[in-house]
Structure 1
Amino acid sequence: MEARAINRFVGTSPMKMRLVIDLIRGRGVEEALSILHFSPKHASKSAEKVLRSAISNLQNKDESGRIDPSQVFVKEAFVNGGPMAKRVMPAPMGRAFRIRKRSHHLTIVVAQRQQKVRANPKAKSAEAAPKGAAAPVEKSKKSATKPKASASQKKAATES
């Protein structure tokens, strides 16, 4: 199960937010929250709010309401560019420089880790073979490497 939270039209540069988001992608939510909380970057405050919202959305989505926070991780986190406000700054000799005030859209998706069930691989291959048929034979690969020359052989080759 997964849930997402989106914060749109945030008034900071997408590049500044990507520096923060790259730190939490793929991590557990507890670790990600602590990284964002103690990060000195200004963008980490809004990223922390969005992450908390995504966790809350996941808890509301679950019918039982019992989600173990240690099993939740940041599945996806990405920043897309938003609209740019264009301003003009006067420049020398009658020219004008354009200032682009950038914004971004932040999306964070959290999900629960799935419990992996490991089956016995030998029992699986024995069940796959029909009765009366011979068991599959595993082939071993031969090494195709040449034997290395000793130090005395290398020295003799360089002297001649």
Structure 2
Amino acid sequence: MGVRKRQMAERLKEEKSKIAFAKLNNCPTSPRKMRLVADIIRGKKVEDALSILKFSSKEAAGRLEKLVLSAIANWQAKNEDSDVVEAGLIIKEIRVDGGTMLKRLRPAPQGRAHRIRKRSNHVTLVLGESKMLKDN
């Protein structure tokens, strides 16, 4: 391995140690409803996001709260010597994609049937350390 390639690999490894992610697959909530809650917490500090999710009345908030806690646990597994509060973790990225769709039939008048699509979603959450706290 060349010198530049090794330096690049070490730099990428260092950057990856500062982030942690968690995924939630096939969550039985429509992506549109999940994105409403995800947009609220995008870019916030982890403590603020958890308090917002805890007191939100949306069903998706409970699922996202559990996902944020999972991402924090993943970050702590990587950085055992660091503290979550001192690191100033923020939600760098939260992405809600469409998942599988269950197709059902609902009876309609005059012998017809309407198709019901029960949607699900995939959520990817990336936590990172805040740059502002490191500069100070």
TM-score by length of 2: 0.81
Following superposition, the deviation at residue 68 of structure 1 comes to: 2.8
Look at both structures and tell me which one has the larger radius of gyration over its CA atoms.
Answer: 1
Distance 1:74 1:108 in 2: 7
Count of aligned pairs = 117
Distance 1:98 1:51 in 2: 35
The correspondence of residues 12-31 of structure 1 with structure 2, limited to 5 A, is 12-31=29-48
Distance 1:108 1:38 in 2: 20
* Cα distance change of structure 1 residues 18 and 69 upon mapping to structure 2, 3 Å threshold: farther
Give SS of 1:49's match.
Answer: helix
RMSD: 1.4
Q: Relative contact order (C-alpha < 8 Å, sep 6+): which is higher?
A: 2
Q: Please list every run of 5 or more consecutive structure 2 residues that lacks an aligned counterpart in the other structure.
A: 1-17
Distance 2:56 2:27 in 1: 18
The one-letter code of the counterpart of 1:59 is: Q
The one-letter code of the counterpart of 2:79 is: D
Distance 1:105 1:30 in 2: 23
Per residue, is there more helix in 1 or in 2?
A: 2
* Cα distance change of structure 1 residues 69 and 18 upon mapping to structure 2, 3 Å threshold: farther
2:99 paired residue number: 82
Give SS of 2:56's match.
Answer: coil
Give SS of 1:33's match.
Answer: helix
Percent identical? 49
Distance 1:87 1:53 in 2: 33
Summarize deviations over 1:116-155 as a string: whole Å, max 9, x none.
Answer: 37xxxxxxxxxxxxxxxxxxxxxxxxxxxxxxxxxxxxxx
* Cα distance change of structure 1 residues 69 and 97 upon mapping to structure 2, 3 Å threshold: farther
TM-score by length of 1: 0.69
